[in-house]
Structure 1
Amino acid sequence: MKKSYIFGIIIIAAAIMMIVSTAGDASSYVSFKDAHDMALNGNNTKIHVVGELKKDNEGKVLGINTSQDKLSFTFIMVDENGKEQEVFYNEPMPADFTRSEQVVVIGSFKNESFVADKILMKCPSKYQEETVI
């Protein structure tokens, strides 16, 4: 067999192994209710929940509580189905967190509380058109 054929087979095998190994890390987007049900059934895989921060009528963010050392915080998030849930994040609050339009938390339920390992934010775009009156 030629060396180029052997090299090609090795490259293809490596690509297949990478695809199989990353497929197990893929998580799905669910609501807080689905995430809670998954945790009750013993499924502790990391999942994505999409939602917004809870705000009052004036647009002020409600329910953010930082720890005394500012190294962790909790906040109330409303998922796409309207369910409110307190989320714990064991890292400092990200910059412009309260300005975000949409939030994606990646984590799982532990003891009736959603614990986020990572937070992704969609901040307002400075390029959006504004209505001029």
Structure 2
Amino acid sequence: MQTKLIEDVLYGPALMLGGSRLENDELIKLAREEFDGQPFCIVRNWMMLDILLPENEERDVRKRGLQPTVLLVHEAVFDSEGRIAARDSFITGFQKDYYGCFLESEETLFILAGRGFRKHVSSPAFQALNAYGNTGIRA
């Protein structure tokens, strides 16, 4: 059952989104200039997951000023804090803000590069994915 849930998250239909078209070096330079002092991470091959949480859990997330959306990253390009190795896959914490090619979690600003996807996932599917691929990284 868990395998089916994970397969649906990873390979099921999703809305295609475009991130920044800049090259990695350009993005790093720009981010260092624009977001001086703020932790940032440039990612490629990403997917925004809107998690369909039970009402009480969603209420708790929103009380913290967050949205029940996370970023599933398949390729970290650069992390200003050095916490995430290049090419690492991970799942972020909940979304604080999202605009264009920027998604901010409680801890980190993510610069979305290249093409990505967005989809709704059930809470059980998210839990299965998190348990399967948990790297321990929460940015």
TM (normalized to structure 1)? 0.28
Relative to its length, the structure with more helix (as a share) is 2
Bigger share in strand: 2
**Higher Rg:** 1
TM, length-normalised to structure 2: 0.27
Higher relative contact order (CA 8 A, sep 6+): 2
